Amino acid sequence: MEAIEPNWVSSLWFAAFATICTVAFLVVAGMFPLRSRPDSARSVGATLLVFGNAALLAALVLGTALYGYTELRWSTLIVVAGLAMLFTPGLFEAFPSSLRDGRTGLIVLVGVQILALAALARVAGPSLITLS
């Protein structure tokens, strides 16, 4: 494994963050355009959740990309991100519809993204500080 990717632990973390980013993207993308949202996500509070999730997703994608850029080889970065994008929709389809299309899913997604951002800050903090 050392010959393929010397930072294999970082590649596992990157795979987890990329998977969370892809699931979050699928949930948030399903809420746009706003007028075509499912009935369970049409309230003003759900609209705020959609935009909050979009903002958290942007931060998570940026942090994940910077983490992958600083810690991994380009080939590993591309392969792992591609695998996450390829196989995560199958995982997404296994979720119950209330988690994919409703207010409950948006609330859970906020929590998952906040936890992922906290983990990313903990894991990637030292490498991102050296980037600046």
Residuewise pLDDT in 10s, the chain (132 residues) = 566 778 888 999 999 999 999 999 999 988 888 777 776 677 788 889 989 999 999 999 999 999 999 999 999 999 999 999 999 999 899 988 878 888 888 899 999 999 999 999 999 877 766 665
d(CA 50, CA 28): 6
Q: Is the pTM of this model over 0.85?
A: yes
Burial class (CB in 10 A: 0-12, 13-18, 19+), 73: middle
Residue with tokens 């705020």: 48
- Spacing of C-alpha 32 from chain mean position: 17
Q: State the Cα–Cα distance between residues 117 and 125, nearest whole angstrom.
A: 11
At 131 the three-state DSSP class reads: helix
